Structure 1
Amino acid sequence: MKSVELFAGAGGLAMGASLAGFKPLAVVEWNKWCCDTIRENQKRRFPIVSDWNLIEEDVRKFDWESLGEDVDLVTGGPPCQPFSMAGKHKAFNDDRDMFPATVSVIRALRPKAFIIENVKGLMRSSFANYYQYILLQLEFPEIVSRRDEDWLNHLRRLQIEKTSKKPRQLGLTYNVVATLVNAADYGVPQKRERIFIVGFRSDIDANWSFPKPTHSKSSLLHSKWISGEYWRRHNIPKSNRPIAPDQLISQLQKMPKEKRELHARPWRTVRDALQGLTRPSLKNDCSFHNHLLQLGARVYTGHTGSPLDEPAKTIKAGDHGVPGGENMVVFPDGSVRYFSVRESARLQTFPDGFIFHGSWTETMRQLGNAVPITLARYVCASVGEALAESEIRCIKNTLSRSIA
């Protein structure tokens, strides 16, 4: 199956799609540093990205008709700054709002499905109308805004189309589902909440729902405070283990089995993710790429770091100060230090062999904006499976009609 990636960044979502079996016809990104990262890995023949058709260009300027092939899947994470909790919250008044461009690409390519990832802030109440506007544009991409029509009036026309009982006159519509997801529930060692907007073209008979979580908080709590398996796995003697509050132990012991979610694996923690890595130093460690120590980490209001034995807080796009000052690990003795780029990459589930190009600031920006590869692979694989099953049903129905 063939895919196109928009706003590729360092390539997390596109790598997830490739690992799920999609062949990218185009991977489009306009940021030089991100493209340099992908190109550097292509030069080193890193297998997942080595054959990508990387295009360093604005998605609004690329000639999509030049692809000349049918597209099964469009993926992308439009810039999140217009909707991020840490941003200026300008949404549709922000020049970086690329949702209109995303809709234009979908209208041009008519993919069988699309996957759009963005920040949780997109769902906040102050953006409620614009969020609905985004979803309706994705559902009806051929209902374009008229000249001099503002987005609110365009929204009203889309709402009328949505609620109208008249037969649909437009050929291109999508069945759209939006889901808020915590990456920790899918094996990512990070509490990263993101929204995934998934659409299937209305002529595709797809039976799809968001993949079930594979990991759970309750399983992690059980492995720490009931079975002790977590500490044994990391060779932490009982004398060095933290003491759980009696109230927590009591709650876990009384929790009904159906609520424990012990069928799922435990959330992965920072300690899990960093296992096998040496501590970063001020000199290059030839054993691990991008593993330099960054000095200056400190705790202050709003920047308390990530405890070693919990999933990390969301890795953010920055270095020192706001917002990057939160990208720290907190050790059991209370000491803190910044995550190295390699450690941050592990928290985003990038392979150790994938290297990042640019300064500390640029590489942390790439990582903070990336989609964790593990989560991307789960989502893309589920969509690919739904498309394959739909194709099989279509073939069977055609054969049945021909026999009849």
Structure 2
Amino acid sequence: MSEASGATRSQRDSIELFAGAGGLGVGLAEAGFSPRIVVEYDKWCCDTLRDNHKAGNTGDADDDAPWRVIEGDVRHVDFARFEGKIDLVSGGPPCQPFSLGGRHRAYDDARDMFPEAVRAVRETRPKAFVFENVKGLTRAAFSDYFSYVRLQLEHPEVVMCPDEAWGEHFKRLQQHHTSTKRDGLHYNVVTKLLNSANHGVPQRRERVIFVGFRDDVDACWSFGEGDHTHEALVWDQTFGDYWDRHQVAKAQRKLEGRALGIAKRLSKDEKPDTKPWRTTRDAIGDLPDPRHTRISASIPDHRFQPGARSYPGHTGSFMDDPSKTLKAGVHGVPGGENMLRRADGFIRYFTVRESARIQTFPDDYVFHGAWSECMRQLGNAVPAKLAELVGVSVRQQLDAAEAR
């Protein structure tokens, strides 16, 4: 992880909701946040979390041990005991109501857990929060609900009344937000759509984040577009040492997809001042071919999975681009788009270890369940590197606010 992380400094207490396999939590931990509890419903995800964070999940662990996993429905968790003791609440509420691959039911979907995220904020009153979700939440069809979610996070004590429709609650939140007399708990919230590839993740994965600071915290937070670009990658592949660095044979040095058009616009004398996108080869190039069983067997979770096939809309990821968005296996063939496509047309599924590399998990992070289950965990995860960068930026503002 980054040397710029806050992991070497004193840890700030946090709570992690809807933790999944732990991508968001791992990145935020590198930024200096230590989750007191981690809430997750899925059994396999909980097994993954417990195995990788044993300190908080042993029989003799005390109540203050970090990463204590609570397996179950978040709606049954009482957060009130953490009131005033938490610096950050974070999590990724289930995204199926908004996913481009789902049924797009949003506020009519029982899986919408944003109300529980708001409740955790209301009961703990953290200095800040970080929530993330899929790009689909920003679709025009969900614009009102997107605004509704944001207003709930800004004013978590304006609670929905029994039998009140969400539209009526939305109207009350708007009235409260525009009032000049607003008592109680309030947060200043920024939303942003991030492309992970622009931030050094070897994957084109877009996520929307909600970052909020309690209004008594003097934070001046913003988050940039990232310092990695496709243009810089294509320049490196066209005029730089990308191919030599990876010892790629000349016959296999091939630009594909959008890179072909970008290459025509570039000049050797005008090197982009940004960093190159990281590619699939950057992430997994040092791993042996998983078909070589004797070699790959020594690497955890690096087993060959047969049966990959290409079909319209699911053609795999080029080796020398960032991978396409890893998916959770709901798009036809289990694993969906989670395939590697070589320049010669050969395709195969990514192994779990390769997928973990693409999602920037540490190499010693292990996953529980069959291949399809592990790929579901990884397809739902936040890239740990992206979470770390967001966490560092939030941590810096909290530290600076307290130093003023």
Say if 1:86 and 1:323, in contact at 8 Å, map to a contact too. no
SS in 2 for 1:24: strand
Q: CA separation in 2, counterparts of 1:270 and 1:96?
A: 33
Q: CA separation in 2, counterparts of 1:281 and 1:243?
A: 26
Q: Tell me how large the CA RMSD over aligned residues is.
A: 2.2
Pair 334,32 (structure 1): closer, same or farther in 2 beyond 3 Å:
same
Q: Which amino acid aligns with 2:158?
A: I
Q: Which amino acid aligns with 1:232?
A: D
1:352 and 2:363 are equivalent in the alignment: yes
SS in 1 for 2:267: helix
In structure 1, the gaps of 5 or more residues are 394-404
Say if 1:3 and 1:74, in contact at 8 Å, map to a contact too. yes
SS in 1 for 2:266: helix
The residue number in structure 2 matching 1:155 is 170
1:230 and 2:242 are equivalent in the alignment: yes
SS in 1 for 2:38: strand
SS in 2 for 1:324: coil
Q: CA separation in 1, counterparts of 2:297 and 2:54?
A: 19
Q: CA separation in 2, counterparts of 1:240 and 1:113?
A: 48
Pair 269,154 (structure 1): closer, same or farther in 2 beyond 3 Å:
same
The residue number in structure 2 matching 1:399 is none
Q: CA deviation at 1:66?
A: 3.2
Question: Deviation string for 1:161-210 (max 9, x for gaps)?
Answer: 2223x222x22001000000000011110000010110000111001101
Normalised by the size of structure 2, how large is the TM-score?
0.90
The residue number in structure 1 matching 2:61 is none
SS in 2 for 1:145: coil
2:275 corresponds to which of 252, 256, 265: 265
1:203 and 2:254 are equivalent in the alignment: no
Larger mean Cα displacement after TM superposition, 234-243 or 110-119: 234-243
Say if 1:83 and 1:121, in contact at 8 Å, map to a contact too. yes
1:27 and 2:27 are equivalent in the alignment: no
1:136 and 2:148 are equivalent in the alignment: no
Q: CA separation in 2, counterparts of 1:143 and 1:391?
A: 28
Q: CA separation in 1, counterparts of 2:210 and 2:222?
A: 11
The residue number in structure 1 matching 2:160 is 145
Question: Deviation string for 1:275-321 (max 9, x for gaps)?
Answer: 21111138583421111111111111111111111100000011783
Q: CA separation in 1, counterparts of 2:201 and 2:311?
A: 26
The residue number in structure 2 matching 1:400 is none
Q: CA deviation at 1:44?
A: 9.6
SS in 1 for 2:362: coil
The residue number in structure 2 matching 1:121 is 136
The residue number in structure 2 matching 1:308 is 319
SS in 2 for 1:13: helix
SS in 1 for 2:39: strand
Q: Which amino acid aligns with 1:65?
A: A
Q: CA separation in 1, counterparts of 2:97 and 2:249?
A: 47
Normalised by the size of structure 1, how large is the TM-score?
0.90
Say if 2:326 and 2:378, in contact at 8 Å, map to a contact too. yes
Q: CA separation in 1, counterparts of 2:358 and 2:28?
A: 19
Q: Which amino acid aligns with 1:53?
A: R
SS in 2 for 1:301: coil
The residue number in structure 2 matching 1:17 is 28
Q: Percent identity?
A: 52
Q: CA separation in 1, counterparts of 2:321 and 2:397?
A: 34
Q: CA separation in 2, counterparts of 1:210 and 1:103?
A: 22
1:298 corresponds to which of 309, 327, 338: 309
The residue number in structure 1 matching 2:181 is 167
Say if 1:319 and 1:360, in contact at 8 Å, map to a contact too. no
Pair 286,41 (structure 1): closer, same or farther in 2 beyond 3 Å:
farther
The residue number in structure 1 matching 2:336 is 325
1:362 and 2:335 are equivalent in the alignment: no
The residue number in structure 2 matching 1:92 is 107
Q: Which amino acid aligns with 1:231?
A: W
Q: CA separation in 2, counterparts of 1:121 and 1:22?
A: 28
Larger mean Cα displacement after TM superposition, 209-218 or 197-206: 209-218
SS in 1 for 2:75: coil
Larger mean Cα displacement after TM superposition, 91-100 or 33-42: 33-42
The residue number in structure 2 matching 1:242 is 254
The residue number in structure 2 matching 1:397 is none
The equivalences for 1:174-193 within 5 A come to 174-193=187-206
Larger mean Cα displacement after TM superposition, 311-320 or 298-307: 311-320
Pair 69,313 (structure 1): closer, same or farther in 2 beyond 3 Å:
same
The residue number in structure 1 matching 2:400 is 389
Q: CA separation in 2, counterparts of 1:305 and 1:38?
A: 29
SS in 2 for 1:132: helix
Say if 1:29 and 1:56, in contact at 8 Å, map to a contact too. yes
Say if 2:232 and 2:276, in contact at 8 Å, map to a contact too. yes
Pair 248,69 (structure 1): closer, same or farther in 2 beyond 3 Å:
closer
The residue number in structure 1 matching 2:345 is 334
Say if 1:179 and 1:196, in contact at 8 Å, map to a contact too. yes
Pair 37,183 (structure 1): closer, same or farther in 2 beyond 3 Å:
same
